[in-house]
Structure 1
């Protein structure tokens, strides 16, 4: 199973800069070990307020208990609270490591909620979903859509785009676009991110 974990750290009052530096070093070393065993797959930073210390990780575990054992063993856990979102299989998911990475692009997480308009026939809905699956394959082939999962109340996508404007343009081409509400989270790569970036030529949207 895969899990998305939002990790928020609050450094205790009175902690010295040397203690913070030591904690960061131990956390980075432990993260490399987790990546080596396949338990942490990606690590990003979302937009941060001044003084905020937060990261988002993509973890792999056999279940919630194994994930908690992984999280509780991380050095920063003593200063940190974790928000865990279980990620379910999505039919249009390109799958891990199957998508080329477009050069000069950045990462985004996009939360989707779908609302089928009242009165839509089953035939029309099925046609829209079929077109959506086809478009997802095209966007994956272009290196823009990397992963898709189900999450409670909707779905979650890991996207790459040149910028937020470009991403919104890509999302507007989805056949289900007018049935979707989206929440976009821009990401920057964390220094301890174990992901491998393989640059390719930019492809057409």
Structure 2
């Protein structure tokens, strides 16, 4: 299974700087080891507020208990709270790796089909959505797609040159008229397994 984990760290006031640096160094080493094991797949930083430490991690684990053991093994856990979102395979997921040169975005979609919409219209729109997802994956824009719990909810990982291009991509989706979308721009985390070289 895959999980999206929002990790928020709050260092207690008065903690010596050398203690903070020691734990951060051990955290980076632990992240490299978890990546080597195939447990930590990606790591990003969402937009941050001043003095905020927050990361988004894509983890793989057999189940919730194994994920908890993985998260508990990370040194920053002593100061960190984790919000876990289990992810399921989405039928339009291209399962591609991130490329370089573009910005990444996470999107949370909620599809609400208007009451009374003919079944044939829904089926045709969903078929066009799947085709468009394949096109966007082939162009390197859609990297991953997961189903979230709840009807009509999905999480997407995208690449685009900027926010305007990302918005144009989302507007091009056949389900756009029926979707509400929350978009989070991402920056690479220094310990992201996709960019860390051995």
TM range (shorter): over 0.9
SS for the counterpart of 2:12 is coil
One of 111, 129, 137 as aligned partner of 1:114: 111
Aligned residue in 2 for 1:203: none
CA distance in 1: counterparts of 2:187 and 2:27, whole angstroms: 18
How many angstroms does 1:196 deviate by?
Answer: 4.7
CA distance in 1: counterparts of 2:135 and 2:121, whole angstroms: 21
Aligned residue in 2 for 1:171: 170
Query: What does residue range 89-168 of structure 1 map to in structure 2 within 5 Å?
Result: 89-97=89-97, 101=99, 103-153=100-150, 154-168=153-167
| Structure 1 consecutive aligned stretches of length 4 or more whose deviation exceeds 2 Å | none
CA distance in 2: counterparts of 1:32 and 1:196, whole angstroms: 11
How many angstroms does 1:95 deviate by?
Answer: 1.5
Describe the superposition over 1:94-143 as per-residue Cα deviations: whole angstroms up to 9, x where unpaired.
0243xx72x53111000000010111111110000000000000000000
SS for the counterpart of 2:170 is helix
Aligned residue in 2 for 1:202: none
Alignment length (residue pairs): 194
CA distance in 2: counterparts of 1:17 and 1:196, whole angstroms: 27
In structure 1, the gaps of 5 or more residues are 198-205
Aligned residue in 2 for 1:86: 86
Describe the superposition over 1:1-23 as per-residue Cα deviations: whole angstroms up to 9, x where unpaired.
00000000000111011111111
SS for the counterpart of 2:190 is coil
Aligned CA RMSD, in angstroms, stands at 1.2
CA distance in 2: counterparts of 1:22 and 1:134, whole angstroms: 49
CA distance in 1: counterparts of 2:42 and 2:9, whole angstroms: 18
CA distance in 1: counterparts of 2:45 and 2:101, whole angstroms: 18
Instruction: Give the structure-2-normalised TM-score.
Output: 0.95
CA distance in 1: counterparts of 2:17 and 2:91, whole angstroms: 47
Aligned residue in 2 for 1:51: 51
CA distance in 2: counterparts of 1:9 and 1:151, whole angstroms: 25
Instruction: Give the structure-1-normalised TM-score.
Output: 0.92
